[in-house]
Structure 1
Amino acid sequence: MELNTGHASPAEPARQSKGTSRILMYSHDTYGLGHIRRSRAIANALVAAHSHASVLIISGSSLAGSFNFAPGIDFVHVPGIAKSESGSYASANLRLDVAEVTAIREALIRQTAESFRPDIFIADKEPAGFRGELVPSLKLMGNMGTRRIIGVRDVLDSPEIIRSEWHDKGAIRVMTDHYDDVLVYGTEQFYRPLDGIPMPAEMRSRIVYTGYLRRSVPGGSSGVRYPRSTKGPFILVTTGGGADGAGLIDWVISAYEADPQIPLPSVITFGPFLSNAQRAQFLERIDRLPKVDAIVFDPKIERLMNRASAVVAMGGYNTFCEILSFDKPALLMPRSRPRQEQLIRATRASALGLVQMLLDPIEQGEPTRDPMVMAQALTALRDQPAPSLVSPPGLLEGLPSIADYVAPHIAGREPTDSVASIGLGG
């Protein structure tokens, strides 16, 4: 007599509880907050659109639990990996080398996929995962009948760098062999991030541009005490996680030190990864400036951005989505190292009239940043038009488009007209 354990073998289709659908998401999170924030937006939209869906997010972010997630979403936390500005990697917390940590992450990811048995799998940005850690799970889920989707942001890096990097990591082969769909979280008119990657025509035909991910103001209190200046018009200065934002913060503070007549005050959010030493130095200078305030970190920064009159930022994907969503005049100072992603996005957005851009003089080889250049740019924000005046139609339809796109694979129905209207691009 054969014992029935109640578990399907890996080669069998996933068996789900009646009336439920399961979506597994992967966010490798080796730098900053971008990946987990993007995954959060998508997960919240999926459970809102599909009331029977459960979303499980695999994440290495130590701050994943700080954000606002809807019912129906949970996490599996894997050991974190830290990425330096030079591009090298190390264990974020464990006293183990990166190879050992990667092996642990790979095993946890595979165990999660085998136990959860998802209908849909969505990976963020890295087809093979960090150092190939996803490949065993991708093969397993393929045998289960899971629909495997790779989602990438509007800009990855320069075409030459992405082509070389993905070739060296085997990511192109993994994407071709182990994924059913490729979603680009942007518009084809803005930028085509995969043009530099050689791939079969059949795979290129699977690329779908969803539009950008619209953000909304989260409910409930943020738990952060906002400065008094937020009760009137103000400029929000945000650097995301903050690990690479010291240059922008320093330039803004120096502008107010040089020109007390800048019309709007600024509220600076340092980000959780700005070093304590840099934060202390900035606070000492801010204490002497009547028009500058600061907070450390706001997990519901959408609330603060919605209040702001204008935004100064570096140009990461999530901040760009928020600028468009809340229709704020914005000044971007993109970094160009270790990736050119922010520079490409800011340059394109500036050319389209969506934002203004300032390049960091120090990154351009200059010895200093002129405070008056930033002061003039901050002053100009008061009269800068909102992005909506030049935004093309459908720019912010990413979240409903993604929810509709996956619908046939979790609910057995055809895509709605909004998906059909996205079109295929290559």
Structure 2
Amino acid sequence: MNLKTKKMFTLTMTALMTTSIALAGCSGDGKSADGKVELTFMFRGNPEELKAYKATVKRFEEANKDVKVTMVQTAPDQYDTKLKSAIAGRKVPDVFFYNPAQVKAYVNSGVLLDITKNVEGSKDIQLEDIWKKGVDKYRYDGKVLGKGAIYGLPKDLGPFALGYNKTMFEKAKVSLPDKDKPYTWDEFIQVAKKLTKDTNGDGKMDQYGTGFNVNWALQPFVWSNGADWINEEGTKVTIDDPKFIEALQFFVDQQLKHKVTPSIGESQTLDTYQRWMKGQLAFFPVGPWDMAAFKDQLKFEYDLLPWPAGSTGKAAGWVGSLGIGVGSTTQHKKEATELAMYLSANQEGQQALVDAQVQLPNSMKIAKNWVEDTSIKPANKQEFLDLINDYGRGMPAEKTYTAEWYDEFFKNIQPVLDGKTSVEDYVKKEQPKMQKLLDDAIAQEKQAN
């Protein structure tokens, strides 16, 4: 899930179940009035995802007649707050989505159930067929992530690829990108300039090269330039690295210097996601969760390519994920774990979600067939798998105990994007603030252990 889907969700969602009422709806023994085992499932997503997950849960109920699932759906930008409120109020859902950056804290505080035995002993799923990178995000041995017990399964792996408007390229007679070779930064800017145009002669630009959101699209540029927010050990904030500064400056220059992205004012009138949907941007990030909406709403053909490569000469990108965890306080551990496994790893459940085109399959076998299915657009779906297998990585905060240090970077970055604060001054000011928050996170982890 990303920021651009939040507005879609808000505009299209007509009603939301309130978390407090729904989570308090079970009887004392966790059974409904008709004697069925009652589970609460708390989740979020864009409209297409919500519809698909509701349908998949219904399939689970049909296959498990003695179970009734109360679905608690929450707006994406409110989800973490409501989940934390539920945890603080000791009304942890039986099954719920959660961020992999929360694994350590949720395990240490006793929020998550260890489901290793159920998962490894299940006859309905084949753990070796599930992306190892996905499962490892939810393993924790008390010290190291990626090892030890399983405290959740991936709802999905979400590779954030770069999309391009193929129709726009062809109309402008610009050569299509090479799906196997990334643009250099200079090449990317040159193509973006060719596709930034005033098409009707009124003196105003009608289409732009791109329009990236800094929260979700800066990472590929930083990483491909050999920099990062944090060192390998997870102990030092490294945004003052010259390579990081260079990458952030390149990102800022796309608007301020090269004029290949809409101005702040133009984005307020029509945000970049809407411009992409209207066919007014040449490049825009695409996740598997976008495919259902794009299939029905785009009036142009699009495809995927690698992110532009910085000084390393190699593309970089991120692979997000949400976990499906089981609350440690559930009164029905077996049924709750079976629901989590069905949503994440059961072949029938996976196929239902794939058919809805809201995510990339967790099953590698189904994913292979999915990539080869030419009836499912875009054509180069292999790019999603390349991100998982080759050049994608997790977000920086996944390796630390809390994410506050990372979130701090983006809180006050708007003046940099506006050209009112220099990149150098910004990182110089932010690095010590972020370092203090990271030090606090390290101290919290030591105390918890």
TM-score, length basis structure 2:
0.32
TM-score, length basis structure 1:
0.33
Looking at secondary structure, tell me which structure has more helix per residue. 2
Which protein, 1 or 2, shows the higher relative CO under an 8 Å CA cutoff with sep ≥ 6?
A: 2
